[in-house]
A and B are shown apart, each in its own frame.
Chain A
């Protein structure tokens, strides 16, 4: 606590601090395994659209852990003159970019898959020779896919618990994507087996299916990121519904300050609440002009913060 007072910055409880360290470590491990998977699958790559789509999804799933780690770098920086609030929302911004990428590339893959489905392309998969033995490349691709789902599913499960402890959306979405990776792998295997059995459409159909799941993930994440960047009421981790904690906080503050309007928003992992007199949500012109002589309409709020029990007067009394 004293250290916190010295730094004069919000501090995390020890459990959260530990969870953050765990999260950073596990995201580095995720990056490592994903890089291995991308390399192995790139090596096994053959003429399957579904396989290509699954591979691109694995490349894309590098974005979330990378943006988590980059955002952590920024979050740790102290506030400065240019950024007096600090960098709490670095994660939201990184999240926005990675989900936008997911959405756009998902849409492109959907187009690609739909085109090859419509053009009735006949996916061709050849064979490879290892130590004088001929192996159909489809088997190698299936092997690579089976390998590719194991690390993400294990890591995803572990990250899910940490994300809940941290109320971290980036980590949560990343964990969910990882734990659902087996579905992509399975769909892709089905596509290749389809080629094996001589069904030309199976591969493109599975590619379309995987691209739809990428779009769905991207859209959901984009929505979450947009809500938090637009100062939306804090949302639950696993849905777009307003978070129970925020609801409770609002009703408690409202009962403590009757006749007020309580607004809550989320900056990074932190909640910020402001209590304003009902019906007087903007600064009156007289007061505005006192502080800002030109374009005074731009000033709508001056906040004095609650720091002590004694500060808890009703805002309209001040």
Chain B
């Protein structure tokens, strides 16, 4: 019951999807090219809350990510809301070991939550810049691995 021309574009989008599945192109892509930038500059800017008590597991994951992406890791400690702002501006690529339930959750792209080694009730997650879906996929894949200890 909607206008025809708009539906034509929707149908074109659908055909594009079919083509995509046929030729195996990789979805999702980033909206603002975080993954590409990391591959180009070989550097990952990783923020973490200076108040976080223990980030051993997160650091091990981060090292694995650096290895996979063949990139140098630059750690950037900071205040939670400053980190979120920096992430939204694209100055850092991720925040590791955030509480999974926080007031910032809607302002960032949040990874799958994982159990906190100290307090199992309070889950943690990593955050990426909103819309960086390829990068989020990469981070999620990293966090699927057994916690390296």
Is A91 interfacial (CB 8 A cutoff)?
Answer: no
Q: How far is the CA of A209 from the CA of B7 in the complex (A)?
A: 9
Residues of chain A lying within 8 A (CB to CB) of residue B27: 136, 138-139, 193, 196-197
Flag the segment in A27-35, A183-191, A260-268 that touches B.
A183-191
Residues of chain B lying within 8 A (CB to CB) of residue A202: 13
**Size bracket of the A interface:** 35 or more
Taking CB atoms and an 8 Å cut-off, the chain A residues in 163-216 that contact chain B are 176-177, 180, 183, 186-187, 189-190, 193-200, 202, 206, 209, 212-213, 216
Q: How far is the CA of A126 from the CA of B10 in the complex (A)?
A: 23
Q: How far is the CA of A195 from the CA of B29 in the complex (A)?
A: 8
Are B31 and A200 in touch, CB under 8 angstroms?
yes
Chain B, residue nearest A210 (CB): B2
Flag the segment in A1-9, A117-125, A222-230 that touches B.
A117-125
Is B32 interfacial (CB 8 A cutoff)?
Answer: yes
Are B1 and A127 in touch, CB under 8 angstroms?
no
Q: Which residue of the partner chain, among A127, A176, A194, A200, contacts B112 with CB atoms under 8 Å?
A: A127
Is B44 interfacial (CB 8 A cutoff)?
Answer: no
- Given A124-B131, A193-B17, A186 and B136 contact (CB-CB distance below 8 Å): no
Residues of chain B lying within 8 A (CB to CB) of residue A132: 144
Is A75 interfacial (CB 8 A cutoff)?
Answer: no
Q: How far is the CA of A190 from the CA of B16 in the complex (A)?
A: 9
Are A123 and B29 in touch, CB under 8 angstroms?
no
Is B98 interfacial (CB 8 A cutoff)?
Answer: no
Is A128 interfacial (CB 8 A cutoff)?
Answer: yes
Taking CB atoms and an 8 Å cut-off, the chain B residues in 117-146 that contact chain A are 128-134, 136-137, 140-141, 144
Is A217 interfacial (CB 8 A cutoff)?
Answer: yes
**What is the distance, in angstroms, from A279's C-beta to the closest C-beta of chain B?**
44
Q: How far is the CA of A129 from the CA of B113 in the complex (A)?
A: 12
Are A121 and B29 in touch, CB under 8 angstroms?
no
Taking CB atoms and an 8 Å cut-off, the chain B residues in 1-38 that contact chain A are 1-2, 6-7, 9-11, 13-14, 16-17, 20, 27-32
Residues of chain A lying within 8 A (CB to CB) of residue B2: 183, 187, 209, 212-213, 216
Chain B, residue nearest A133 (CB): B144
Q: Which residue of the partner chain, among B1, B9, B17, B140, contacts A217 with CB atoms under 8 Å?
A: B1
Are A186 and B11 in touch, CB under 8 angstroms?
yes
Are A134 and B141 in touch, CB under 8 angstroms?
yes
Chain B, residue nearest A194 (CB): B13
- Chain A contact surface mostly: helix
Q: How far is the CA of A190 from the CA of B8 in the complex (A)?
A: 11
Q: Mark B73-115, 1 if CB is under 8 A from A, else 0.
A: 0000000000000000000000000000000000011111000
Q: Mark B43-78, 1 if CB is under 8 A from A, else 0.
A: 000000000000000000000000000000000000
Q: Which residue of the partner chain, among B9, B109, B112, contacts A129 with CB atoms under 8 Å?
A: B112
Q: How far is the CA of A126 from the CA of B137 in the complex (A)?
A: 6
- Given A126-B112, A209-B2, A134 and B144 contact (CB-CB distance below 8 Å): yes
Q: Which residue of the partner chain, among A122, A126, A190, A216, contacts B111 with CB atoms under 8 Å?
A: A126
Q: How far is the CA of A122 from the CA of B31 in the complex (A)?
A: 8
Residues of chain A lying within 8 A (CB to CB) of residue B144: 129, 132, 134
Q: How far is the CA of A193 from the CA of B68 in the complex (A)?
A: 27
Are A136 and B31 in touch, CB under 8 angstroms?
no
- Given A134-B140, A136-B27, A138-B27, A193 and B13 contact (CB-CB distance below 8 Å): yes
Chain A, residue nearest B12 (CB): A190
Are A136 and B131 in touch, CB under 8 angstroms?
no
